[in-house]
Amino acid sequence: MAYFAVRYTYSDDNAELDRVRPSHREFLASLTAGPLVASGPFVGAAHPSAMLLLKAGSADEVASALDADPFWEAGLIAERLVEEWNPIIGVFADN
């Protein structure tokens, strides 16, 4: 299993983001029993965006898990970038 950092860049449709956000957060909360380690928005970013940290077997597995995100299904994620992350130092590093 590896760590994957996912960056969501959201659409500019604030009203629709606000409408769907409760379902989005409920969905993410359901993943905490599985692959989701942490998630949250970037503060002060040029565009509304967030980072998610997941532990999974592959980037495809991560993308597949996130395909059911209500934000994704509603077309509210303008860009989703999935990158494998190799923590060397700190609480996520394998010691």
Write down the pLDDT at residue 95: 53
Q: Determine the residue type at 13.
A: D
CA distances from 15 to 9, 12, 20, 63, 76 (A): 16, 9, 9, 25, 11
Contact (CB, 8 A) for 75 and 41: no
pLDDT of 54 = 98
22 pLDDT more than 80? yes
Q: What is the pLDDT of residue 93?
A: 87
Kindly list the structural domains of the chain, giving each domain's residue range(s) and its CATH number in brackets, ordered by start.
2-85 (3.30.70.1060)
Other beta carbons within 10 Å of 79: 11
- Tell me the backbone φ, ψ of residue 11, rounded to 5 degrees: -70, 170
pTM for the structure as a whole: 0.92
**Which structure tokens are listed for 46?**
């040029």
Answer whether residue 55 shows pLDDT above 90. yes
